[in-house]
Amino acid sequence: MCPDTTRRTIAALTAALLLLADTAWFQIVAVAVGGVAGLLLCREPSSTGKASIRVFYSKRLGGTLLGLFFFILIALPLAQPFLPELFAIAESFYRAGALVFGGGHVVLPLLEESIVQPGWVSEEDFLAGYGAAQMIPGPMFAFSAYLGALIPTETSPWWGAIVAFSFMFLPGFLLIAGILPLWQGLSQLTMANHAIAGINAAVVGLLGAALYDPIFIAAIYSGTDLAISITGLVMLRLWHLSPLIVIAGCLATTLFPVLF
C-alpha cells in the first residue's frame, strides 16, 4: 500500500498527526487529508479499476442503503437519551463501525473512546479481550461481542453482545452494498485512483498509530515486556511459528516469575 516515497510520507505524517491528536474522531480528518494528498501527489499507475464486480441491484437501491447508513448514524445519537440502555450500546458501536478506516485494529481508539472512557469497561478488560481476539480466526470486529457482554445493563449479557456485534458490522454492510452499484464507474476515473492511493497510505499510518496507542502504551510497562514482545515478533516473522505457539510462549514467560 506504500510502494513509493510519496505514499510512505503520507503514512508517516498521518501516524504523527494522529499521535498528536486528542480524539479518535481525527481519523476521519486524517483519511480525508490523505485522499487529497493522493489526488495531488500520487501519480503512479493503480490497478484499482481493473477488477470487475457484477451488481444485481439498481443504483437507486444502493442510494437507499447509503441513505439508511447516514440516517442511522444521525438518528441514533439524537434518539438514544429517550430509548432503553441497549440503544446506547447500539449507538456507540454503530458510530465506531461507521467511522473506522483500515480494518479491525484501527477501530481500537474509537472503541476505547466510546467504551472505556465512559467507564463501561475497564482498560484491563478491554486489552485482555483484544489479546484474546488475536488468538482466534475471524474478523477483528468480533471483539465487539465480548465488549457488549461486559457492558453492565439490566438485561442479559447476551443481549449486549448481540446488539454490539450487530451494530458494529451493520454500517460496513450498508456502505458496501450502497457503494457497489456506483463503484464500477468511479473506479475507472484516474482522479479517484489517485485519491484512493492516498487514502490507502493514510490507513497504513492509522494502523501504525493504533499499534502505539492504545496497544503499546497499555501493554509495555518494562524492559521485560519489551523483550518478550520483540522475541515474539522474531518467532512470528522470522521463524514463522504458529501464532498460538508464540502466544503460549509469551504467556509462559510472563507467568514464570510470578509462579516460581
126-180 pLDDT tens trace: 988 888 887 777 677 788 999 999 999 888 999 999 999 999 999 999 999 999 8
**Residue type at 168 in one-letter notation:** M
Say if residue 8's pLDDT is above 70.
yes
Based on the fold, state whether residues 122 and 44 are members of the same structural domain: no
User: Which residue from 58, 52, 48, 98 is spatially nearest to 76, judged by alpha carbons?
Assistant: 98
**Burial 203-227, CB ≥16 within 10 A → b, else e:** bbbbbbbbeeebbeebeeeeeeeee
Instruction: Evaluate whether 198 touches 6 at the Cβ level (below 8 Å).
Output: no
Based on the fold, state whether residues 62 and 149 are members of the same structural domain: yes
Based on the fold, state whether residues 71 and 164 are members of the same structural domain: yes
User: Which residue from 206, 226, 228 is spatially nearest to 216, judged by alpha carbons?
Assistant: 226
Q: The cell 483500515 sits on which residue? A: 102
Count of all residues that appear for the chain in the document: 260
Distances (CA, A) of 4 to 9, 35, 43, 44, 161: 9, 16, 10, 9, 42
15-50: pLDDT as tens digits: 999 888 867 678 888 889 999 999 999 876 555 545
Based on the fold, state whether residues 214 and 253 are members of the same structural domain: no
Based on the fold, state whether residues 176 and 69 are members of the same structural domain: yes
Phi, psi of 111 (to 5 degrees): -65, -40
Report pLDDT for 46. 52
Q: Which domain holds residue 259?
A: 221-260
Based on the fold, state whether residues 97 and 164 are members of the same structural domain: yes
Based on the fold, state whether residues 182 and 227 are members of the same structural domain: no
Q: Which of 161, 186, 211 is the last residue of a domain?
A: 186
Q: Which of 162, 186, 210 is the last residue of a domain?
A: 186
Based on the fold, state whether residues 173 and 195 are members of the same structural domain: no
Q: Is the dihedral of CA 159, 161, 166, 168 positive or negative?
A: positive
Based on the fold, state whether residues 142 and 258 are members of the same structural domain: no
Residue 145, C-alpha cell as written in the block: 461481542
Predicted model pTM: 0.79
Based on the fold, state whether residues 69 and 144 are members of the same structural domain: yes
Based on the fold, state whether residues 101 and 136 are members of the same structural domain: yes
- Structural domains counted in the chain: 3
Based on the fold, state whether residues 6 and 59 are members of the same structural domain: no
